[in-house]
Amino acid sequence: MTTSRGTVLLIEDEEAIADLVRMYFEQEGYRLVHAADGERGLEAVRDRDPRVVLLDLGLPGIDGIEVCRRIRASSDVPVIMLTARDGEVDKVVGLEIGADDYVTKPFSPRELVARVRAVLRRSEEPARVPSTLEVAGFEIDSGRREVRLPSGEVVRPTAREFDLLWYLAENQGLVLSRPQILEAVWGYDYFGETRTVDVHIRQLRRKLDGLPIETAWGVGYRMGDG
Ligand code: CA
């Protein structure tokens, strides 16, 4: 019996990429499940219980954005999107609908493995002692991973959005730089892709209207006092 680091689901229509990715991940001790289109990918999310999903954006049938949306409707499994080099808009849309990260094609399989490890490291961290932080009338509950708005309405951000929110709230009053935020919330140095932070901040601002997330121009963000 072989031990495995767990199942990685790759949803990708290009066989050559799938073969390459499979080789690398199997070498690293993961089990790789490959689905060649979105329908089968969604089935595999349900049936194979993957620890992480690698999701190609350009898929025949249901496209990657829609697949991600449907995964998010029922699952918190980490999703890393595989995007085309010039698909900046796609990347942003992908993050907005709850993808955790993205890798631009052509990617090095080694880099992809590193990203998966980083994502999994985060999800394996021992659960923090549940506690609640209050900012400007917003109750942020780390046990339930949800936020009670001043109106009483409860909002559940995506896993990554919540981690970002918690980090800002724990450091209320401090200006946090984008690289600092990436390191703390994404768990590795995400060189040149600070846009990821901005997209997640925008989502938090949209979902948590009135929460005092301030922009420190040219630096990063700060949770104010409200
Ligand atoms: Ca494709």
If you measure from the C-alpha of residue 81 to the centroid of ligand 1, how many angstroms do you get, rounded to a whole number? Answer: 11
Last residue of a domain, which of 78, 103, 123? 123
87 and 148 part of one domain: no
Domain residue limits at 93:
7-123
Taking Cα atoms as reference points, which of 195, 222, 226, 201 lies closest to residue 212? 226
- Same domain, yes or no: 89 and 149: no
Query: Are 167 and 115 in a shared domain?
Result: no
The reported pLDDT for the residue numbered 98 is 80
Domain boundary pick from 95, 123, 151: 123
Whether residue 119 is found in the same domain as residue 98: yes
| CA-to-CA dists, residue 22 to 16, 17, 26, 29, 222, angstroms | 10, 8, 6, 11, 41
* Dist. CA 93 → ligand 1 center (Å): 17
- Confirm if 164 and 204 have CB atoms less than 8 A apart: yes
The alpha carbon of 13 and the centre of ligand 1 are apart by a number of angstroms equal to: 5
Q: How far is the CA of 89 from the centre of ligand 1 (A)?
A: 16
Collapsed DSSP state (helix, strand, coil) of residue 148: strand
Q: Which of 197, 208, 199 is nearest to 167 (CA)?
A: 197
Ligand 1 center to residue 17 CA distance, Å? 9
Q: Do 171 and 85 have their domain in common?
A: no
Q: Which residues surround ligand 1, an ion (CB under 5 A)?
A: 13, 56, 58
The answer to the question of residue 73 being in a domain is yes
Q: What is the pLDDT along the chain (226 residues), one digit of tens a residue?
A: 445 788 999 999 999 999 999 999 999 999 999 999 999 999 999 999 999 999 999 999 999 999 999 998 888 899 999 987 666 666 667 777 788 888 888 888 888 998 888 888 776 666 556 689 999 999 999 988 999 999 999 999 988 899 999 999 999 999 999 988 988 888 765 555 778 899 999 999 999 999 999 999 989 999 998 7
- Which H or E run includes 90? helix 88-96
- Residue 1 falls within a domain, yes or no? no
Q: How many domains does the chain have?
A: 2
* Domain CATH number, residue 212: 1.10.10.10
Domain stop point among 123, 150, 180 = 123
The DSSP code sequence of 23-47 is HHHHHTT-EEEEESSHHHHHHHHHH
160, part of any domain: yes
Q: Is residue 96 part of a domain?
A: yes
The CA distance from 223 to 136, in Å, is 10
At 170 the three-state DSSP class reads: helix
- Going from the Cα of 14 to the center of ligand 1, the distance in angstroms, rounded, reads 6
Kindly report whether the global pTM for this prediction surpasses the value 0.85.
no
Query: 42 and 146: one domain?
Result: no
2 domain-assigned: no
